[in-house]
Amino acid sequence: MKKTSGPIEYIEQNNAGKTCLILLHGIGSSAKSFAPVFSELSSAFRVIAWNAPGYGSSDPLQDSSPQAIDYANALADFLERLNCNKVYLVGHSLGALIAASLAKIRPDLLKGLLLVSPALGYNTVAGLELNETVKLRLNDFQKLGSKVFAEKRAMRLVFEPGLNVDTVNIVRNAMASVNEIGYVQALNMLSSGQLLVDIPHIKCPTEVVIGKQDIITPISNAEQVYQILGDEFKGNFTVLDKAGHAIYQQSPSEFAKIVSNFIMDVESKIEGN
């Protein structure tokens, strides 16, 4: 069910659940993209997927060239309004940059973190320059419009797209609905993002998940993230064989199982202490 809290639109399933599970989508996606895993996760958890600032009906950020910390501050405010303290946070792709930034600035809000198909960011100077890869993507988006852009790009996010037409359609529809102002702000954040700088500051149980066939954020990205996690907080490194970048759309049952097992493992350790 879609709801609004302050400037943020979100989807919530099982609001009676005691454990808050927060899902952060990537740059070409939305809260609705998590639909394939809602039913499998909401039976046990209070599942909340936000539309990031500038996405769906969420208000954009004030800064035209925001950084990951700006999204993290918006997320912290959102969680506090919903009385979600000590949450489990799943950040996919660009969402991983936001998740890691929140873990750095507000460790008190997190019980556990899953970094999925993590985007590393390009470490440019915020507001002054765009990485060349990001600049080309922005030019394509503005030249083609969201619908044609989605037609061209969606198949790259799915392993064996010709055999997974339904998954491609889910990815394409989400990408086609992206608002330009939100997408441009997110591209600026991706350009200035520094995930590897934030990772050592994470002080909660953390796992990394990647699709073996991901050509957008390859396994090497995920390996770098995993290697610099603190040993005390490092959980599993999971590779799903038949999944591309759109990992939770392409392998929803496997993905939901990874998330559930992670939460149950952390909870059991908390109860044992």
CATH number for the domain spanning 151: value is 3.40.50.1820
Tell me the two tokens of residue 55: 């996405």
Q: What is the pLDDT of residues 56-83, one digit of tens each?
A: 999 999 999 999 999 999 999 999 999 9
CB atoms near residue 67 (< 10 Å): 21
Structural domains counted in the chain: 1
Task: Specify the pTM.
Answer: 0.97
pLDDT at 268 over 70: yes
Tell me the two tokens of residue 21: 């599970």
Average pLDDT over the chain reads 96
pLDDT at 14 over 90: no
The pLDDT assigned to 190 comes to 98
Q: What percent of the chain has pLDDT over 90?
A: 93
Query: Closest Cα to residue 221, out of 206, 199, 205?
Result: 199
Please answer whether residues 176 and 168 qualify as being in contact, where contact means their C-beta atoms are separated by less than 8 angstroms. no
Alpha-carbon torsion, ordered 88, 90, 91, 92, to 10 deg: 180
pLDDT bin (cut points 50, 70, 90) of residue 18 is: confident
pLDDT bin (cut points 50, 70, 90) of residue 273 is: low
Once rounded to an integer, what is the mean pLDDT over residues 238-258? Answer: 97
CB atoms near residue 139 (< 10 Å): 11
Q: Taking the CA of residue 184 as centre, how many other CA atoms within 13 Å lie in the half-sphere pointing to its CB?
A: 13
Q: What is the pLDDT of residues 146-187, one digit of tens each?
A: 999 999 999 999 999 999 999 999 999 999 999 999 999 999
Q: What is the pLDDT of residues 70-121, one digit of tens each?
A: 999 999 999 999 999 899 999 999 999 999 999 999 999 999 999 999 999 9
User: Domain limits at 155?
Assistant: 2-272
pLDDT bin (cut points 50, 70, 90) of residue 28 is: very high
Q: How far is CA 221 from CA 98, 112, 193, in A?
A: 16, 20, 14
